[in-house]
């Protein structure tokens, strides 16, 4: 009997503590916090897609402009949407061979330009000239010896270009603008 009444007393006090918790305030605050998180996520998404975003790039195809091992660069999304990409800009675009990869190369020609390129720099001087069709751009890596670019997959449609690389953020020694010419750090 003592056990039963002790349990009853404990249950009663638990129920009282449960009732005294300010549930309405807690739920209001939870909703507020969730809304704040949602707003922050939406804000981050809009900035990332429409204004500027930070990307990490890796690989040898843009040496000496960009390092072999991871640089973090700032990509401006406004220029690509407005269609004002110029020759000499380094752009970030979706790979025509694999839609889930984004790559960075330099634009060497826009629609209507005639591009002369070395077919295979390892094997001599044979070159070809091609005219870039409407709505496309010709991209090449700064390191033509080790870069898979328009010489392999052809000119890239403007719609695939996601942004223009304009600044390097990391590593700190390389902090600065990425210009129109292939330069080292």
Partner 1 sequence: MRTGNSLWLLTKKALTGALIGVTISDRYVTLSPVRGSSMHPTFTGSSTSFPGSLKGDVVLVERFCLQKYKFSHGDVIIFRSPTNQKQMFVKRLIALPGDWIQVPESSEILQIQEGHCWVEGDNPASSLDSRSFGPDSLCMLSEPNLIHSVYCQPVLM
Looking at the annotation, which residues are catalytic? 61, 105
152 binds partner 1 (CB under 8 A): no
28 binds partner 1 (CB under 8 A): no
H/E element, 22: none
148 binds partner 1 (CB under 8 A): no
Task: Show Cβ contacts of residue 95 under 8 Å, excluding neighbours closer than 6 positions.
Answer: 101, 102, 103, 153
Binding positions for partner 1, 99-128, rule CB under 8 A: 99-100
* φ, ψ for residue 91, nearest 5 deg: -120, 155
Would you say 70 and 57 are in contact if contact means Cβ atoms under 8 Å apart?
yes
Q: How far apart are CA 13 and CA 17, in angstroms?
A: 6
76 binds partner 1 (CB under 8 A): no
Site string for partner 1, 31-50 (x = CB under 8 A): -------xx-xxx-xx--x-
For the CB of residue 139, give the shortest distance to partner 1 in the complex, in Å.
Answer: 14
For the CB of residue 88, give the shortest distance to partner 1 in the complex, in Å.
Answer: 20
For the CB of residue 122, give the shortest distance to partner 1 in the complex, in Å.
Answer: 24
Q: Nearest 5 degrees, angle CA 14-CA 17-CA 21?
A: 140
157-to-14, 83, 100, 173 alpha-carbon distances in Å: 67, 11, 16, 34
Sole binder of partner 1 in the list 29, 32, 97, 120 (CB under 8 A) = 97
Q: How far is CA 160 from the centre of its chain?
A: 13
Based on CB atoms, which residue is closest to partner 1, 15 or 42? 42
158 binds partner 1 (CB under 8 A): yes
Polymer length in residues for the chain: 185
Query: Residues in the site for partner 1, rule: CB under 8 A?
Result: 38-39, 41-43, 45-46, 49, 83, 94-100, 133-136, 157-160, 162
């Amino acid at each position: 009997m003592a056990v039963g009444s002790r349990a009853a007393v404990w249950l009663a006090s638990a129920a009282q503590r449960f009732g005294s918790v300010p549930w309405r305030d807690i739920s209001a605050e939870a909703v507020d916090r969730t809304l704040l998180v949602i707003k922050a996520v939406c804000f981050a998404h809009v900035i990332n897609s429409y204004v500027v975003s930070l990307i990490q790039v890796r690989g040898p195809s843009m040496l000496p402009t960009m390092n072999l091992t991871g640089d973090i660069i700032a990509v401006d999304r406004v220029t690509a949407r407005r269609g004002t990409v110029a020759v000499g800009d380094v752009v970030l675009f979706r790979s025509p061979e694999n839609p889930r990869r984004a790559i960075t190369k330099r634009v060497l020609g826009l629609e209507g330009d005639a591009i002369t390129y070395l077919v295979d720099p390892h094997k001599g001087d044979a070159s070809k000239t091609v005219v870039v069709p409407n709505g496309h751009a010709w991209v090449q890596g700064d390191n033509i010896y080790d870069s898979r670019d328009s010489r392999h997959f052809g000119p890239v449609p403007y719609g695939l270009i996601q942004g223009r690389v304009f600044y390097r953020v990391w590593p700190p020694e390389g902090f600065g603008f990425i210009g129109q010419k292939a330069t080292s750090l």
